[in-house]
Chains A and B, each alone.
Chain A
Amino acid sequence: LAFLPRLALAAAQSTDEAIMAFTKGATPTEGTVSLDTPEIAENGNTVPVGVSVDSPMTADNYVESVLILADGNPNPAVATFHFTALSGVAEAKTRIRLAKTQNVIAVARMNDGSVFIDRKEVKVTIGGCGG
């Protein structure tokens, strides 16, 4: 049991590393981006996740990319959405796998390089990995 916290720490570090690689070293601020996740997911195999970013989505002011992470999965990377000025609104939805109760994280990067973050905890009844 003693090594479990270390494992958790290792996962957290790689989540931070993934965020830093995405933001090119900038520390993201809270707000602007918002995650839409269920509070409780009965089946971790398919958890609906939506993300929306407050942005005018014009040619000079738009959201480039949104990174979705799950910090308790064996590999925290989930998906990356790439938007363009033609997206109209920066919103996307998908369905993801969650191995256990954990935080889902969305990091948004704007075309000017500014970065924003949102986190939501999702309680998982049946894990969505292994088997």
Chain B
Amino acid sequence: MADNKPRVKVPKKAAKGEVIAIKTLISHPMESGQRKDKAGNLVPRQIINKFTCEFNGQVVFTCDMDPAVSANPYLEFNVRVDEPGTFKFTWVDDDGSIYEAVNSIAVE
């Protein structure tokens, strides 16, 4: 699905050792597998089941998601930044698709 657009908010720069807040949102229906269509058939589950945030190749935060996470899953979390570098965000869909976003941060 090409419409799963990730949106990420990361500060452009931070002081060394500062704890920054990161906000992420991705467009996704998060079909729970509980819902029925008009004909009364269960709509099969299809959700994003895992989110990972890496900083310079090191995993700093991950989240396992179940169908109770709302559509267009939103996540806000913190990371301590000790050096400049690149954040890589990965979302894994039930169907195996992977959605990615990359953001860099400067340290002054």
Residues of B with Cβ closer than 8 Å to A? 19-20, 32, 34-36, 55, 58-71, 73-80
Report how far A96 CA is from B74 CA in the complex, Å: 9
- Number of interface residues, chain A, beta carbon within 8 A: 33
Q: Which residues of B contact A25 (CB under 8 A)?
A: none
CA distance A91 to B64 in the complex (A): 15
Closest CB in chain A relative to B19 CB, distance in Å = 3
Max chain A Cβ within 10 angstroms of own Cβ: one of B63, B75, B76, B79: B63
Bound-complex Cα distance A115 to B69 (A): 23
Mark A residues whose CB is within 8 Å of B: 45-47, 50, 57, 70, 73-75, 77-84, 86-89, 91-98, 128-131
- A86 contacts which of B32, B67, B74, B79 (Cβ < 8 Å)? B79
Complex partner residue of B60 from A87, A93, A95, CB under 8 angstroms: A87
Tell me how far the C-beta of A86 lies from the nearest C-beta in chain B, rounded to whole angstroms: 4
Residue of B nearest to A66 (CB): B63
Q: Which 7 A-B pairs have the closest CB atoms?
A: A88-B19, A88-B80, A93-B76, A77-B66, A95-B70, A78-B68, A46-B70
> How far, in angstroms, from A105 to B21 measured CA to CA in the complex?
23
B61 near A81 with CB under 8 A, answer yes
Contact status B68-A91, CB under 8 Å: no
Q: Which residues of chain A come closer than 8 Å to B80, judged between CB atoms?
A: 57, 86-88
29 sampled A-B residue pairs with Cβ under 8 A: A45-B70, A46-B70, A47-B70, A50-B76, A75-B67, A79-B65, A79-B66, A79-B69, A81-B62, A81-B77, A82-B64, A84-B61, A86-B58, A86-B60, A86-B79, A88-B78, A88-B79, A91-B77, A92-B63, A92-B77, A93-B75, A93-B76, A94-B70, A94-B73, A94-B74, A95-B74, A96-B69, A97-B32, A97-B70
